[in-house]
Amino acid sequence: MKCAYHPDKEATTQCSQCKKYLCNECSLPDGEISVICSRCAALKAAQDAVYDVGKQIEKKETRIETEKLKKKRKSMMWIISQWLILFICTAIIIIQFPRLISCFKAEKQIRHGSYSTDDRTDQCIKNLWLISKMLQEGKLPGDNIVCPVSKKPYVVTKTEDDVMVKAPNPGLYGFKEMRVSKKNPVPTIIK
């Protein structure tokens, strides 16, 4: 047998890939025992290179994909935490809402003369002043002092260290409360 590349030379081996007969000069070692021709060796090298590049691209793509996933997860977490914060804030606002409202609607005390009142209200306030004077003197209002509208007596509430007298029907004057006490002798009117 002659070498496939040197027709004048005697072949000694065979290429493990293309099975061509090769002389000593043409045979290249391919691993431990097999032999390969230069053309197959070049082809194999090229294939390996392409395979390596493919692997590297794949690796890179996987890495990019992983990073993308990480970023996505991160942004998801960020969105979730934002919603959570918003939810907590909303919950706090809802829970504290009545208190918040009461801040704006602080009990408005109306002093005598600082609010346009009708005759009946004025009479009731006059009564409270009278009762205030009585409280200061250590006396309590009797049934003779009555609400100008409902004709009911004023309500006396005794506490440990104070005596409070309230108009029986403040709603008839359009108020929430009309009161005077021994400790706070100025009639207090709450809208």
Residues in contact with Zn ion by CB under 5 A are: 3, 5-6, 15, 17-18, 23, 25-26, 37, 40
The neighbouring-strand residues paired with 164 are: 157, 181
Q: What is the spatial distance between Cα 42 and Cα 23, in angstroms, rounded to a whole number?
A: 18
Asked if 180 contacts 186 with a C-beta cutoff of 8 angstroms, the reply is yes
Task: Determine the residue with CB nearest Zn ion.
Answer: 15
13 or 188: whose CB is closer to Zn ion?
13
Distance in Å, CB of 34 to Zn ion, minimum:
11
Whichever of 22 and 178 has its CB closer to Zn ion, that residue is: 22
User: Which residue's CB is nearer to Zn ion, number 2 or number 71?
Assistant: 2
Min CB(31)–Zn ion separation in Å? 14
Q: Shortest Cβ distance from residue 68 to Zn ion (Å)?
A: 44
How far apart are CB 2 and Zn ion at their closest, in Å? 9
Which CB, 3 or 125, lies closer to Zn ion? 3
Q: Length of the chain in residues, anyone?
A: 191
